[in-house]
Structure 1
């Protein structure tokens, strides 16, 4: 027979419910029937984003705007949803380590929807100015509404355990006794260990000190501001500045927008003003401005070899139009080529052509070659982790190996196709030496008719400050923690005329 304790009236409250035996917990101020049973719209948007990323391999930046519109969030709620979704994705590694201390089973045995709800709850508790009771109540209410009553009880219990310590104390417990600096940085700054190692190696390869790694990782976790560019000769920044933007301090015709939906602005909807990271603006302008050995002049022919989705092509097209030049934008995938056409729509149509084909065959299609070629090569995107919060958890070390033949093939094709006296810009949104300096060195080996230009000086020449300190051994590398840009790499390669 099961042993039962005597019925002790002193353990019951005025409604006849038994009090907690330990005496350390308190009842909610609301009766169960009065507790939140609906999903707060902003938190629901964040949950939908995490679910799409987890279940469908979706990109957060593509899912989020549609979900915000579907739930008709105002500006403040949209900002909250954005921070909650992106923050939960960026902090996933740290938050999962904390949850691992509070859940009685391996996290991969949880329902994925429950795990996503928990991550949303942990981010509110650890990194947002949300009162703990509100974070718990609203997250449990979200779970009740979209997952079910049973899981909501688990979520409530786990988040209560999480809430008993601030983030600093959790981190002290997680890294206590660890001596391996890569593991410590991985846990503290929520990056996979292989990426921490890769970024440490990248800092050294580009002439910086490995001690900067924590600052770099921390910059990856900061919510990035929106950078915009007015297409030269086509757009103006007046509307964006009136809406609260401030002039960019790195590159001309740029503006920084801290909060709000820039897509509602007419200048942005028309394509005359475009969202584009300042680092991308700088590398495109550097190629357009660098002096050709042939002297240049009107009538140059330019090529964007890997043009999709079209941001750099639009900026290059606008600059080309001002100088009397023409641009070919090459993109192998038709759906991305459609995006390139859309991006170029604001540029006079006689200036540009979109080619849909493998970039490694462009030389046969254009035997006369080009004066300036941009090779914005497909890469791991390790330099844009702050803007693509889910990317750090999707990328694998094998991606570096898989992309290498394509990167070398595209750059080699560009070198074969550029005219004597012309310049090729090799660009990646990754600082990893396997995708940057190693590719350039391999493709230039044995080619005596090519030489590296001073890419750092070229960036300085088109920057407002004129002193970016981004150059190292002729190539240039921008950094989030130094320049406030994505980690764009640039090599400028000139073909001799003889």
Structure 2
């Protein structure tokens, strides 16, 4: 550097050093930047940009991460380690939002609600890299600041840099130790440490007890919720094969036939996935669908089964995962499936899912499932009612849902769940079976609904759902309790699927007798 450059214009001593960085003003009041302005990252790293776009879609559009993420990965042409990094970063930041926000609140000089939502999402990504991933601190800071500078602006980038430097001063355990000092309640402490809303921690502890498990398992359950789930695959029986997945490193599933476990990546490159004969579906969903399809029938329904004239109903079929598996099983057994869905766009997804199944084996009905039992009474030998629920059993796969749900959802969903179960029973022929299914272990959505139906109705009896699950599983699951069955992430490595099986009893009312209709009629 020349003497003129060193002294600056007008002969005044320059504040820049030999590397071009500006010296501190005053007596050490400002920390020197680690890099020169010309060297600072000014672009968005593609993997981090994908994660950022997922968080923005979830926050601003109420989108589902599992639907947005694959599309953004394809859009930015990520593959291999970059795609895996984007997935871990996006899902980790969404799962850990409660804990990350508690840390960030200690590092920001204003309430988090006063921050630009895009800046807050970027801070969550940076904090998760610092506290929950094996990313070197300098890389986490530089790339997050570069992301914000590229997509938000230079001013917010300075704020993000300052806040993340404060976050990096402690490890996650160090922050938790500090934060927990202000928490007296064990539930609140579990909520903070495991990044779950406190009401969900209480609900899951109650659920363990309701389904015959020790409440002390709550830590294992919450940890399982936060573990990155393995991708579960199913080859449609009689139509699909696991060969392509196994050749690419997937492992055969240990719980149910035609299943495999994959490390993930772009599974759309497999031709079997593109044709729909190999599908992504949690093994818990596979098990409950197979249990309903295999439960013993009685009376007229058993006669239909022997003659290969069974009619099956999927009452709440969207988006079509169980419908595809049931349709394939029905085609193998000479049965027919009617898949009902109330929402038009979800009905389209059901049709797409069923496309690989022979067309004579299935039909889609667009309509309110609560009305189907009245419109088609006693017409079906097997009915599955996978009813809308809070989804507390799939928090590991839907990381944003834990922050969207509230206790009020339980009260709002209860009447719908009961009405759908009643419709399912009404639609079932004497001797037929009804599977009541939820992706939630909460007693308000599971055992309470079942007991209420048994009290109100004299035309059903409860079958042993645990025994039915074991009959289709490759090993004993020990999921049964009081006639119902509950799967768990920390026990079975599945979503927390609940199953109750009812058998329809004979009725003396001639209006409920089974008609002799044949295969279902296609509906647009």
Same fold by TM-score greater than 0.5: yes
The change in CA–CA distance for 1:364 and 1:29 in structure 2 (over 3 A counts) is closer
* 1:303 and 2:313 correspond: yes
Matched, 1:417 2:422: no
Give the corresponding residue for 1:107.
112
- In structure 2, distance between residues paired with 1:132 and 1:23: 23
Which of the residues 306, 325, 328 maps onto 1:315?
325
In structure 2, which of residues 480, 483, 487 is the aligned counterpart of residue 478 of structure 1?
Answer: 487
Residue in structure 2 matched with residue 203 of structure 1 by the alignment: 208
Aligned match for 1:345, one of 355, 363, 366:
355
CA-CA distance at 1:448 after TM superposition:
2.8
Q: Give how far 1:434 is off.
A: 0.6
| Separation (CA, whole Å) in 1 of partners of 2:196 and 2:159 | 27
TM-score, normalised to structure 1's length?
0.95
Q: Are positions 1:120 and 2:144 aligned together?
A: no
Aligned residues: 490
Compute the displacement of 1:22 (Å): 7.4
**Is it true that 1:87 corresponds to 2:96 in the alignment?**
no
Alignment of 1:361 onto 2:371: yes
More deviation in 262-271 or 294-303?
Answer: 294-303
User: How far 1:176 sits from its partner (Å)?
Assistant: 1.8
Provide the rounded CA distance (Å) in 2 between the counterparts of 1:120 and 1:354: 42
- Does the aligned pair in 2 maintain the 1:189–1:221 contact within 8 Å? yes
Partner of 2:70: 65
Partners of 2:435 and 2:27 in 1: CA distance: 68
Provide the secondary structure at the position in 1 that maps to 2:360.
Answer: coil
Contact 1:118–1:159 at 8 Å: present in 2 too?
yes
From 506, 509, 512, the counterpart of 1:497: 506
Does residue 468 of the first structure (1) align with residue 477 of the second (2)? Answer: yes
Separation of aligned partners in 1, 2:294 and 2:208 = 27
Deviation at 1:30, TM superposition (A): 2.8
Pair 353,117 (structure 1): closer, same or farther in 2 beyond 3 Å: same
Q: Secondary structure at the match of 1:268?
A: helix
SS of 1:445's equivalent in the other structure is helix
Structure 2: any 5+ residue segments left out of the alignment? 1-11, 508-524
1:279 to 2:288 alignment: no
Q: Does 1:55 align with 2:96?
A: no
C-alpha distance in 2, partners of 1:431/1:279? 13
Q: Which blocks of at least 5 consecutive residues in structure 1 are unaligned? A: 1-7
Deviation of residue 472 (structure 1)? 0.5
Q: In structure 2, what is the Cα distance between the partners aligned to 1:343 and 1:134? A: 42
Aligned 8 A contact 1:12 1:19 in 2: no
Report if aligned partners of 2:52, 2:122 keep a CA contact under 8 Å in 1: yes
| Distance in structure 1 (CA, Å) of the matches to 2:399 and 2:13 | 53
1:40 aligns with 2:45: yes
Q: Could you tell me which of 226, 229, 232 is aligned with 1:224?
A: 229
* CA distance in structure 2 between the partners assigned to 1:22 and 1:478 by the alignment: 63
Deviations 1:428-479 (A, max 9, x none): 00000111111111122142331111111111111111x1111110000001
Of 228, 234, 244, which aligns to 2:239? 234
- Structure 1 residues 41 and 447 mapped into 2: Cα distance closer, same or farther (>3 Å)? same
Alignment of 1:136-147 (within 5 A): 136-147=141-152
Q: State the alpha-carbon separation in 2 of the partners of residues 138 and 364 from structure 1.
A: 59
Corresponding residue for residue 5 of structure 1: none
* Matched-pair contact (CA < 8 Å) for 2:118–2:152: yes
**1:311-359 CA distances to partner (integer Å, 9 max, x unpaired)?**
0011011111111111100001111100000000000000001000111
> TM-score when scaled to structure 2?
0.91
Match of 1:433 among 443, 455, 460: 443
Following superposition, the deviation at residue 367 of structure 1 comes to 3.6
Q: Residue 11 of structure 1 contacts residue 21 of structure 1 at CA under 8 Å; is this kept in 2? A: no
Q: Which residue of 1 aligns with 2:273?
A: 268
SS in 2 for 1:219: helix
CA drift at 1:243:
1.1
